[in-house]
Amino acid sequence: MGRAFLPVHSSWNGVLDPLASQIEKIFESISEVEIAPSLDRIFAACEMDVNRVKCVIIGQDPYPTRGNAHGLAFSVSPEVRPLPASLKNIFTELASDLGIQQPVSGDLSPWKDQGVLLLNRVLTTKVGESNAHANMGWQEITTQIAQAAASQGAIGVLWGKSAQELSHLFTHKIESVHPSPLSAYRGFFGSKPFSRVNLELERRGVSPIDWSL
């Protein structure tokens, strides 16, 4: 269905097709402004087969800096330097949790390739402005995406209030404050989300995620 669905795996059609008119309405509303991520990357999180989703990491909205966002929550294009502060904090916790070296690249695509759905609550923003599209109606659409993954047994990794609005969808969830500099020291650091996801996957007899990048 139209340009919006170019990167979407066919397994999501049953989720997104009923929402097509709402998505088109949002596209019409944002068509006159420069958006992040680019149009062809808005649904990049759904390039993966929904049946392969092991866990869902839910973000808030895309990075507003031009060239940073590429459709995966918390991730940036490989060439982006310096890394956004929230992503640096995620990597600090990753290294602390698993004892691995902090990644240099902020591209989280290898996580997606292993079954991690990196989903923002709001899928677009205006370049240069955070939360510019918070009232466009994206939340209803991303709730349906998260619901589809949760119904397959995916683990919810919910950082911050926006993500925790979807807590009720997940049977197994790992929750903490958001990794932003404003809150990371109030419970994100030390929360060990990566090892906890893998412990639950192993308990189920499912192969763990290699979180190294």
Q: pLDDT tens digits, residue range 34-71? A: 999 999 999 999 999 999 999 999 999 999 999 999 99
For the chain, the structural domain boundaries read 3-203
Q: Please compute the mean of the pLDDT values over residues 11-32 and round it to a whole number.
A: 94
Looking at the structure, give the CATH architecture of the domain made up of residues 3-203. Answer: 3-Layer(aba) Sandwich (3.40)
What CA–CA distance (Å, rounded) separates 100 from 6?
A: 35
Q: Please compute the mean of the pLDDT values over residues 6-34 and round it to a whole number.
A: 92
User: Does residue 17 carry a catalytic annotation?
Assistant: no
Q: So what's the pLDDT on residue 6?
A: 65
What CA–CA distance (Å, rounded) separates 71 from 88?
A: 18
What CA–CA distance (Å, rounded) separates 24 from 3?
A: 10
DSSP reduced 3-state for 198: helix
Cis status, amide bond into 82, omega within 30 of 0: yes
Selecting among 61, 97, 107, 113, the annotated active-site residue is 61
What pTM does this model have? 0.96
